[in-house]
């Protein structure tokens, strides 16, 4: 545990000593603010249009504005996480390999698991810090909605965002461990994340291959969480990607130690 904490503290200090963490959190706040304002405006316009059409037809319209705003907003946060994940993980290993500090870790009395898990949980902690300000948007919805917003969908949505980010960070750490170039790592991470995000759109059909690709699509498993449904299949899916990413990263770090020996 001492080795794990040393790596974790080192990575967290690196995030906040450099402008990386501040830039990422700032960009996240700006984008989520824009998306939230847009979601509120679009849903309100839709509700007003439906109300006018219902009045002309002599019917009563009922649009659940809080639920629609939350679903749209929380869904778009997932897209923001997709775009910002490469910034969180692109230099987590590649920068150390380029500077030669990775060799120092290889000679220290720290296990491969402590190195990988320490770095992973540091990036995961920054993700949580990045997501926390979104709670203020939830509070705004609760305070300005009548009837009250469906609070039960909030824990499921944030769990989905946490699992989505955790899976992308695990895969991003693995891609970063394969190269010394941060740009190559960032492009690789973003490319894989985008492919996993869009698989459900391009994998159409009822064949075995199409069904397998649809199951591998992140979007298909993320959507139920946005609706407040904690799906066991989604938990297994994201947990498997996290385990796979960490496992592959450990094997890469182990190969570095063997090559050095």
Q: Assess whether pLDDT exceeds 70 at residue 51.
A: no
Tell me the pTM: 0.85
Contact 12, 92 (CB under 8 A): no
| Banded model confidence at residue 243, pLDDT cuts 50, 70, 90 | very high
DSSP 227: T
More confident residue, 145 or 78: 78
C-alpha 63/C-alpha 88 separation (Å) is 38
Q: Assess whether pLDDT exceeds 80 at residue 198.
A: no
| Banded model confidence at residue 140, pLDDT cuts 50, 70, 90 | confident
C-alpha 5/C-alpha 162 separation (Å) is 21
* Residue ranges of domains in the chain: 2-260
Spell out the SS3 assignment of 78-100.
HHHHHHHHHHHHCCCCHHHHHHC
C-alpha 59/C-alpha 199 separation (Å) is 41
Q: Taking the CA atoms of 6, 166, 176 and 25 in sequence, report the sign of the dihedral they define.
A: negative
More confident residue, 151 or 177: 177
Q: Assess whether pLDDT exceeds 90 at residue 89.
A: no
| Banded model confidence at residue 207, pLDDT cuts 50, 70, 90 | low
Q: Which of 9-18, 29-38, 58-67, 226-235 has the lowest mean pLDDT?
A: 58-67
Mean pLDDT of the chain: 80
Q: Check residue 202 and give its pLDDT.
A: 66
Q: Check residue 247 and give its pLDDT.
A: 93
Q: Check residue 72 and give its pLDDT.
A: 81
């Amino acid at each position: 545990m001492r080795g794990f904490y040393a790596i974790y503290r080192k990575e967290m200090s690196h995030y906040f000593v450099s402008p990386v963490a501040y830039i990422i959190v700032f960009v996240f706040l700006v984008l989520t603010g824009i998306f939230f304002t847009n979601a509120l405006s679009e849903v309100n316009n839709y509700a007003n249009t439906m109300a006018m059409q219902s009045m002309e037809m002599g019917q009563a319209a009922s649009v659940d504005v809080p639920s629609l705003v939350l679903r749209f907003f929380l869904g778009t946060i997932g897209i923001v996480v997709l775009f910002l994940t490469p910034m969180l993980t692109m230099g987590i290993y590649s920068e150390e390999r380029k500077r030669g500090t990775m060799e120092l870790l290889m000679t220290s009395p720290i296990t491969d698991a402590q190195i990988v898990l320490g770095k992973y949980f540091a990036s995961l902690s920054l993700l949580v810090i990045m997501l926390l300000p979104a709670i203020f948007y939830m509070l705004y919805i609760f305070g300005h909605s009548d009837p009250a917003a469906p609070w039960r969908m909030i824990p499921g949505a944030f769990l989905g965002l946490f699992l989505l980010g955790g899976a992308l960070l695990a895969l991003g750490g693995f891609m970063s461990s394969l190269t010394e170039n941060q740009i190559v790592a960032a492009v690789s991470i973003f490319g894989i994340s985008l492919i996993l995000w869009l698989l459900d759109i391009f994998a159409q059909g009822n064949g075995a291959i199409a069904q397998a690709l649809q199951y591998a699509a992140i979007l298909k498993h993320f959507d139920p969480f946005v609706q407040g449904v904690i799906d066991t299949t989604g938990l297994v899916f994201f947990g498997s990607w996290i385990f796979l990413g960490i496992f592959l990263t450990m094997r890469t770090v182990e190969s570095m130690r063997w090559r050095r020996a």
